[in-house]
Chain A
């Protein structure tokens, strides 16, 4: 399916929130979002000021003319919007998609990291 069609279709499709894990390690915030069926082409991650917008458009081939015997998988795209504060370095954001899991690494600004203040003994 072409990317253009995905975006066009996405305008009218319902959206759901993806399951998300939020972890912090070594001055980096990691977001892990479960987005089964989302391809690299269907994934849009945007940062607008302090808003982090994640849209995952599913591209799953469903056989034509079939009849559902069991239907549990929701026919929807993934969408969520996070507000990130000033401590996140906008230039240090890294995204990777593997096996339907999106990993976003948000770097924390150096100036915001905890630091030790040396006390000068006199």
Chain B
């Protein structure tokens, strides 16, 4: 065991502030469901659904997952993100000190509002471990601005 320098830069009050902020944060975010649905899935990646003026944006955190391992399907208004993260192949040859990442299959199914236009093109981009889907809204659901002529 080698000697390492003691880090005395920790400000105890800063730590309390951080704790307070973290507790406040708990109320601002939805909890990721551990196992929800028919099948007991061990993992469910965090998801965001944002409603914009003319489209819905679905974002999903999928770090370390290749494009080919993700399967997306849209049936009516039900969107399913499914995939698998295979465990490291070379893990057996090394020594594991700590493992926090998961591997295995995952599936998230969400019901989108009726206003999603499922027939139109859905954009899906996987970038830096985040999957972003853009689903257009139906024409009639978009907010319309009616200009009034002043006479």
B48 touches A24 (CB 8 A): no
Chain A residues closer than 8 Å to B47, beta-carbon distance: 70, 72-73
Known contacts A22-B96, A72-B46, A100-B129, A34 near B53 by CB under 8 Å: no
A30 touches B94 (CB 8 A): yes
B57 touches A32 (CB 8 A): no
A101 touches B63 (CB 8 A): yes
A83 touches B7 (CB 8 A): yes
Total count of chain B residues near the partner, CB < 8 A: 48
8 A Cβ contacts from B51-97 to A: 51-53, 55-57, 59, 61-66, 90-91, 93-97
Distance to closest chain B CB from A68 (angstroms): 6
Known contacts A14-B21, A67-B50, A72-B29, A23 near B95 by CB under 8 Å: yes
B2 touches A34 (CB 8 A): no
Chain B residues closer than 8 Å to A32, beta-carbon distance: 101
Known contacts A83-B4, A83-B7, A99-B128, A22 near B52 by CB under 8 Å: no
8 A Cβ contacts from A4-60 to B: 14, 19-26, 30, 32, 34-39, 49-51, 59-60
Total count of chain A residues near the partner, CB < 8 A: 44
* Complex: chain B residue closest to A60, CB-CB: B130
Question: Once the chains are docked, how many angstroms separate the CA of A83 from the CA of B29?
Answer: 31
A24 touches B32 (CB 8 A): no
A69 within 8 A of B: yes
Number of A-B contacts (CB under 8 A): 135
Distance to closest chain B CB from A51 (angstroms): 7
The digit string for B16-48, where 1 denotes a CB below 8 A from any CB of A, is 000001100100111110000000000000111
B7 touches A101 (CB 8 A): no
* Complex: chain B residue closest to A72, CB-CB: B46
Distance to closest chain B CB from A105 (angstroms): 12
A69 touches B63 (CB 8 A): no
Q: List 24 A-B contacts (CB under 8 A).
A: A21-B100, A25-B93, A34-B101, A34-B129, A35-B63, A37-B128, A37-B130, A65-B52, A67-B50, A69-B49, A69-B50, A69-B113, A71-B30, A73-B46, A73-B47, A74-B25, A83-B4, A83-B7, A85-B2, A85-B4, A86-B2, A99-B128, A100-B62, A100-B63
Tell me the B residues contacting A by CB distance below 8 Å.
2, 4-5, 7, 21-22, 25, 28-32, 46-53, 55-57, 59, 61-66, 90-91, 93-101, 110, 113, 126, 128-130, 132
